């Protein structure tokens, strides 16, 4: 198995970075995960826009454009022998002296990882469970998709008694936030609800795509601060992320939900599936009414 490291294919057993890398020492690094469908990097432009904005915040002197990313992914998946893949594009700050620094990072490490995925299929289900650990607040003004993942890891360990389910974070004030590896949506009285970025959640690329799909279909999409009771009183619930796509939720705790029988989850998944091998950005979406 190969990885792509700073412009070259490297066997994973031979890859290395410095122990003085500030991504290792202090978590100064960002990553994006996305799917490749039959060689196409779905929503790549949106992922790169988020990544590049984060790199600017962290003052890492690196910007990645679509041709560079496509070339890296193409070389990687061809070397590894698969066309449907999980991709993690990782930028680490690079080596420096021990101790915090205020200067920008000018020699970052770029690593692209891949692993094969089966061809995408029908709408899947995953139960949900409210975790007791609160969602931590972002380190800065907004949550970056960074190496700071301990909050997610500890919540994931809390889910050991519910394998295959998604843990749902609440904020310290008790508002619904997001899943451990997903954003969350629900339907109530004809409107689509999802927690606001004010809760400190990651603005997921699939989250943004689903909101755009729904709004262009004429649906009422509401972002705000919502309680667990409002979530549990909903008509259907689903999770979103870039690898699992749209995942219907049949149950949260003891509360039963329609799961993949949910009408909106089915429609959104079908629209999503029609876009997988075509679009680089949600901005390419046209209008199609929900019916």
Query: Domains, the chain, ranges and CATH?
Result: 2-116 (3.30.470.10), 124-284 (3.20.10.10)
Give per-residue pLDDT as tens, 76-116.
Answer: 999 999 999 999 999 999 999 999 999 999 999 999 999 99
The mean pLDDT of 189-201, rounded to a whole number, is 97
CA gap 18, 26 in Å, rounded: 13
pLDDT digits (tens, 9 = 90+) for 65-77: 999 999 999 999 9
Q: What percent of the chain has pLDDT over 70?
A: 99
Please list, in sequence order, all residues whose beta carbon lies within 8 angstroms of the beta carbon of residue 193, skipping any fewer than 6 positions away. 185, 186, 187, 221, 222, 223, 224, 226, 230, 234
pLDDT score of 290 = 73
**pLDDT, tens only, 162-173:** 999 999 999 999
- The chain-wide mean pLDDT, for the chain, equals 96
pLDDT digit string, tens, across residues 29-49: 999 999 999 999 999 999 999
- Supply the pLDDT for residue 47: 98
**290 vs 219, which has greater pLDDT?**
219
Q: Which two tokens stand for residue 81?
A: 């022998």
Separation in Å, CA 132 to CA 135, 159, 167, 258: 9, 10, 9, 25
| Closest to 41 (Cα-Cα) out of 5, 80, 71 | 71
Residue 206 has pLDDT above 80, yes or no: yes
Decide: helix, strand or coil at residue 127.
coil
Model confidence over 228-252: pLDDT tens digits? Answer: 999 999 999 999 999 999 999 999 9
Question: Are the CB atoms for 80 and 117 separated by under 8 Å?
Answer: no
pLDDT score at 20: 97
* Mean pLDDT on 41-66: 98
Residue 288's pLDDT is 77
Task: Enumerate residues 6+ apart whose C-beta is below 8 A from 210.
Answer: 185, 240, 246, 268, 272
Q: What's the chain's Rg over C-alpha atoms?
A: 19
Q: Is the pLDDT of residue 291 over 90?
A: no
Reported as a pLDDT band with limits 50, 70 and 90, residue 287 is confident
Identify the pLDDT of residue 286: 85
Residue % of the chain over a pLDDT of 90 = 98
């Amino acid at each position: 198995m190969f990885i792509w490291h700073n412009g070259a294919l490297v066997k994973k057993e031979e890859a290395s970075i410095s122990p003085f890398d500030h991504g290792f020492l202090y978590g100064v690094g960002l990553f994006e995960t996305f799917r490749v469908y039959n060689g196409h990097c779905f929503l790549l432009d949106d992922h790169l826009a988020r990544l590049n904005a984060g790199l600017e915040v962290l003052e890492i002197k690196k910007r990645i454009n679509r041709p560079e990313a496509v070339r890296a992914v193409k070389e990687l998946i061809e070397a590894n022998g698969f066309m449907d893949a999980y991709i993690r594009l990782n930028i680490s700050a690079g080596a420096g002296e021990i101790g915090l620094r205020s200067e920008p990072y000018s020699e970052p490490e770029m690593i692209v990882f891949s692993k094969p995925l089966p061809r995408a299929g029908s709408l899947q289900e995953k139960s949900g469970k409210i975790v007791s650990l609160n969602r931590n607040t972002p380190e800065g003004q907004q949550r970056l998709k960074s190496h700071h993942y301990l909050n997610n890891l500890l919540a994931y360990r809390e889910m050991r008694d519910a394998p295959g389910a998604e843990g749902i974070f609440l904020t310290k004030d008790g508002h619904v936030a997001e899943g451990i590896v997903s954003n969350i949506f629900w339907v109530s009285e004809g409107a689509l609800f999802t927690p606001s970025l004010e809760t400190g959640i990651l603005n997921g690329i699939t989250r943004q795509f689903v909101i755009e799909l729904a709004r262009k279909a004429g649906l009422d999409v509401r972002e705000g601060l919502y309680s667990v009771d409002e979530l549990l009183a909903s008509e259907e619930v689903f999770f979103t992320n870039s690898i699992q796509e749209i995942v219907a939720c049949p149950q949260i705790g003891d509360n039963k939900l329609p799961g993949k029988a949910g009408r909106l989850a089915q429609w959104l998944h079908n629209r999503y599936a029609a876009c997988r091998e075509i679009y680089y950005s949600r901005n390419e979406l046209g209008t199609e009414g929900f019916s």
